[in-house]
């Protein structure tokens, strides 16, 4: 199966690609107690995050397993929590359960707000040419018209433009006018899987432990006080380990379906969560038993087929 390289994918790798994230959600937390309220719940330490700064964070379940992953932008009087498609209602609802005798308002603004992303090594150059005030620091953000433009670190990093849906077309047009190339959903999917970036509801679910997907590296502070689900993630850090880890899997031949088993000998050691066809074979993400080291040869098996594959490490998710 041959999958040609598209201009959008090429832009994500060598230039600057614009990706439509308008279906991403935004939950706004405001009120006099908003900072202390979030600080008591989320996995990242917010005490040192000033207006114009941000972070990656998690709202875990009380058990310590995954709830919602989000990117937080701190503004003067409120916090914007940017989440992947379909996650905003769960995040807003989970936060609302802890609003007891505090001055906090939680609003899911996903019907009115969204994201346009600029990704690739040329993202900063293109955004600057478009007149955007590009922040220098990771997770920094600044006003650009009606929006905030935020610096996104990591393997598939770049910039996010977050704000009113009805004005995102203007921001996208400015970026394209400065040289950005439209990158479609398949282009982004290929880039994120190749770079080992897990997706909420696809590679991350309610059974995922943060350390399994390396989310503890970028989205958890072990130096702050208590937060929801802290006991499990701290116990794993201090006294144990997880039994499986997120890995990239290079598969030869026919692309397997999501859910295909990863096998060593006669033992099932994992399964695939994302699969993207390439020019020759496919690349996938999946969870693999920790004893299967990166570089190991494995077999991917599904109903009606199997293929040889190699397990790779993934970088920490941005």
DSSP 159-200: EEEEEEGGGHHHHHHHHHHTT-EEE-HHHHHHHHHHTT---B
From the list 107, 118, 125, 35, the residue with the least C-alpha distance to 74 is: 35
Residue 10 has pLDDT above 80, yes or no: yes
Residue pLDDT, tens place only, 184-212: 999 999 999 999 999 999 999 999 999 99
What percentage of the chain reaches a pLDDT higher than 70?
A: 98
Enumerate residues 6+ apart whose C-beta is below 8 A from 148: 73, 75, 80, 141, 142, 161, 162, 163
pLDDT reported for residue 154: 82
Architecture of domain 7-194: 2-Layer Sandwich (3.30)
Residue pLDDT, tens place only, 291-313: 999 999 999 999 999 999 999 99
pLDDT reported for residue 194: 95
Residue 2 has pLDDT above 70, yes or no: no
Domain 243-318 superfamily per CATH: Aminomethyltransferase beta-barrel domains (2.40.30.110)
Q: 1 falls in which pLDDT band (50, 70, 90)? A: very low
Listed by start position, the domains of the chain span 7-194, 243-318
Q: What is the mean pLDDT of the chain?
A: 95
Residue pLDDT, tens place only, 134-153: 999 999 999 999 999 999 99
Helix (H) or strand (E) holding 77: none
Residue 318 has pLDDT above 70, yes or no: no
Residue pLDDT, tens place only, 65-94: 999 999 999 999 999 999 999 999 999 999
DSSP structure string for 285-296? EEEEETTS-TT-
Residue 252 has pLDDT above 80, yes or no: yes
Residue 4 has pLDDT above 80, yes or no: no
Q: 3 falls in which pLDDT band (50, 70, 90)? A: low
| 83 phi, psi to nearest 5 deg | -125, 165
From the list 274, 279, 268, the residue with the least C-alpha distance to 244 is: 268
- Average pLDDT over every residue of 21-49: 97
- The strands making up 113-119's β-sheet, listed across from edge to edge, are 141-144, 147-152, 158-164, 113-119, 17-21, 181-183
**H helix runs in the chain, sequence order:** 7-14, 34-39, 88-96, 123-129, 168-177, 185-194, 215-219, 230-239
- Average pLDDT over every residue of 118-145: 97
E strand segments, 68-170: 68-74, 78-83, 105-108, 113-119, 141-144, 147-152, 158-164
Residue 127 has pLDDT above 90, yes or no: yes
Q: In the numeric block, which tokens belong to residue 233?
A: 């993630």
């Amino acid at each position: 199966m041959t999958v040609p390289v598209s201009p959008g994918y090429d832009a994500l790798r060598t230039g600057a690609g614009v990706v439509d994230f308008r279906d991403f959600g935004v939950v706004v937390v405001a009120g006099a107690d908003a900072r202390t309220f979030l600080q008591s719940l989320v996995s990242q330490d917010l005490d040192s995050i000033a207006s114009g700064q941000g972070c990656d964070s998690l709202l875990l379940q009380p058990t310590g397993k995954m709830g919602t992953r989000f990117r937080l932008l701190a503004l003067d009087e409120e916090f914007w929590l940017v989440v992947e498609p379909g996650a905003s209602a769960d995040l807003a609802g989970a936060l609302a359960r802890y609003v007891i005798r505090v001055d906090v308002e939680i609003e899911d603004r996903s019907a009115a707000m969204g994201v346009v992303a600029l990704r690739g090594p040329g993202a900063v150059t293109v955004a600057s040419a478009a007149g955007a005030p590009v922040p220098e620091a990771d997770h920094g953000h600044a006003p650009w018209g009606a929006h905030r433009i935020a610096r996104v670190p990591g393997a598939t990093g770049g910039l996010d433009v977050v704000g009113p849906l009805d004005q995102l077309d203007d921001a996208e047009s400015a970026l394209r006018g400065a040289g950005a190339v439209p990158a479609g959903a398949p282009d982004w999917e290929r880039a994120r899987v190749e770079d080992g970036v897990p997706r909420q509801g696809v590679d991350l679910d309610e059974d995922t432990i943060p350390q399994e997907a390396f989310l503890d590296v970028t989205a958890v502070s072990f130096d702050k006080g208590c937060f929801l689900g802290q006991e499990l993630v701290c116990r794993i850090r201090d006294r144990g380990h997880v039994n499986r880890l997120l890995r990239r899997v290079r598969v030869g031949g026919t692309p397997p379906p999501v859910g295909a088993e990863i096998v060593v000998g006669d033992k099932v050691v994992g399964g695939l969560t994302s699969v993207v066809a390439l020019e020759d074979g496919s690349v996938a993400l999946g969870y693999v038993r920790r004893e299967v080291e990166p570089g190991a040869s494995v077999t991917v098996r599904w109903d009606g087929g199997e293929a040889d594959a190699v397990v790779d490490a993934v970088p920490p998710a941005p």
